[in-house]
Amino acid sequence: MNITFEERMRESINRPRIYFDHAATTAPRAEVIDVVAKILREDFGNPSSFYNEGHRAARLLEDARTTIASCLDVLPEEIFFTSCGTESDNWAIKGAAYARQGKGRHLITTTIEHHAVLHSMEALEREGFEITYLDVDHRGMLDSEKVRDAIRDDTILVSVMMANNEIGTILPIKEIGAICREAGVLFHSDGVQALGAIPVHPQELNTDMMSFSGHKLYAPKGIGLMYKRKGARINSLIDGGAQEKRQRGGTENVAYSAALAKALEMSLADMEHESRRQMVLRDRLIRGVIERIPHTKLNGHATERLPNNANFSFEFIEGESILLFLDKLGYACSSGSACTSASLDPSHVLLAIGLPAEIAHGSLRVTLGIDTTDEDIDSFLFDLPLVIERLRNMSPLYSDYRRGKLQPLIPEEGSLDLKIDGSYGWPS
Ligand SMILES: *Cc1c(COP(=O)(O)O)cnc(C)c1O
């Protein structure tokens, strides 16, 4: 029985598609959609209005805030609604920088942050702030002592993500937060990928601010959260009305705020069981891929890793062709992050963990979710080797390797924890 790629492609028309890109966005839960529809139909009022419809809307908004605060173990007045995770990251970083520039103009972050953080930092750099970008190791792990060493008298903010969106590595933010607190420096963490997947308690984690996003959590796109510790003073970025305690103008998105509260409540109610379930699927996927496909490595940390994330590099493959072929077979995956897949530059995260550009280009991110089944993994483990084999057969690098003209960087047996040193052995 030797099924070819073409046969699988013809068959795939009759199979339901399999969504493996939950780190990019998630489908809203049915119960969450019901919450949105009900509020849009029945409670369209403006929460700032002084009559019944307004009071009802304000009540729904504050109920959502209270629910979220209790999920995170913080005070309702420490929860702010924003338009997305990106806005929350911008607000925390620029708001802190502008509020504290009298004390100093130095900020610290890492090389593997989301672009919402990195580009906020770069914007500040253009305004004369100085940024230290801390390196991570080949697993994407940051040594918290590096933060201590980087803090100076004029340091005003440290921003380190809780979990990386591309390679899934979970960073030691509790330790980093303790170091910042001791030094009297504000600490922000992008918790977008962590929330709902692993326990997130901003206070216990010693953070002053954390960013979150609805659509990574089975709520709609267009709603985000910021946790800001009472007493952490930062500037506003959105000037306008007196909404969100005068700190973020704009008529509140009542329906989506309630949706986010509902989605968070549901994710947390089920988190222990669901994360363990996804971890079992993830580990079967990782082992299966490394076993079935030669010259393959896992990117990210083998254990300190989000339950739903697998990220692989396949040697001798160029470009984003893996994604196109998988798409034809019915799978939605990512090569890095959704933001980088529009450009041909290799992902900054994969470069930061030391992958040569050529290896980074042959990378694939598979992120599981609440809808992922055992059968999805089986089917993928059947199809992915067909795709890789087909692409390698078209690859001049692979043919050079087969003729002994190229040394592989990833050994044939593959690796769960490979550090690649040196440059790629391109044929001259
Ligand atoms: C998706 C994501 C963001 C951006 O959130 P949006 O709501 O899409 O703006 C920020 N940080 C991380 C780690 C993310 O995964």
Q: Per-domain residue ranges for the chain?
A: 5-20+271-402, 30-269
Residue 145 has pLDDT above 50, yes or no: yes
User: For the chain, what is the largest distance between any 2 Cα atoms, rounded to a whole number of angstroms?
Assistant: 79
d(CA 230, CA 201): 15
pTM exceeds cut of 0.75 = yes
Closest CA to 196 of 210, 222, 216: 216
Q: Between residues 278 and 13, which one has the greater pLDDT?
A: 278
Q: Give the model confidence (pLDDT) of 392-408 as tens digits.
A: 999 999 999 999 999 99
> In the predicted model, what is the mean pLDDT of residues 244-259?
97
CA–centroid distance, residue 334 to ligand 1 (Å):
15
Q: What is the pLDDT of residue 212?
A: 98
Q: What percent of the chain has pLDDT above 70?
A: 96
Helix %, strand %, coil % of the chain (to 5):
45, 15, 45
CA distance 385 to 405: 24
Mean pLDDT across 179-191: 98
pLDDT at 339: 47
**What residues contact 273, with CB distance under 8 A and at least 6 apart?**
none
Confidence of residue 149 (pLDDT cuts 50, 70, 90): very high
Go through 322-348 and write b for each residue having 16 or more CB atoms within 10 A of its CB, e for each that does not. Answer: bbebbeebbbebbbbbeebbeeeebbb
Closest Cα to atom 15, ligand 1: which residue?
165
Round the average pLDDT of the chain to a whole number and report it.
Answer: 94
Ligand 1 site residues (CB inside 6 A) read: 84-86, 89, 114, 116, 161, 165, 190, 192-193, 213, 215-216, 224
Residue 384 has a CB neighbour count (10 Å cut-off) of 26
Residue 138 has pLDDT above 80, yes or no: yes
The CA 192 to ligand 1 mean position distance, Å, reads 6
Q: Which of 169, 190, 213 gets mutated to test ligand 1 (max ligand atoms within 8 A of its CB)?
A: 213
The reply to whether 333 belongs to the active site is: no
| pLDDT tens digits, one per residue of 338-348 | 444 556 688 99
- Banded pLDDT at 428 (limits 50, 70, 90): very low
Q: Which of 71, 180, 333, 339 is catalytic?
A: 339
> Where does the pLDDT of residue 427 fall: very low under 50, low under 70, confident under 90, or very high at 90 and above?
very low
Average pLDDT over residues 42-55: 97
Fold of 30-269: Aspartate Aminotransferase; domain 2 (3.40.640)
Q: Comparing 5-20+271-402 with 30-269, is the CATH topology the same?
A: no
Q: For 281-325, write each residue's pLDDT tens digit.
A: 999 999 999 999 999 999 999 999 999 999 999 999 975 899 999
Lookup: tokens for 402: 């087969």
Distance (Å) from CA 215 to ligand 1 centroid: 9
Superfamily (CATH H level) for 5-20+271-402: Aspartate Aminotransferase, domain 1 (3.90.1150.10)
Distance CA 362, CA 358 (A): 7
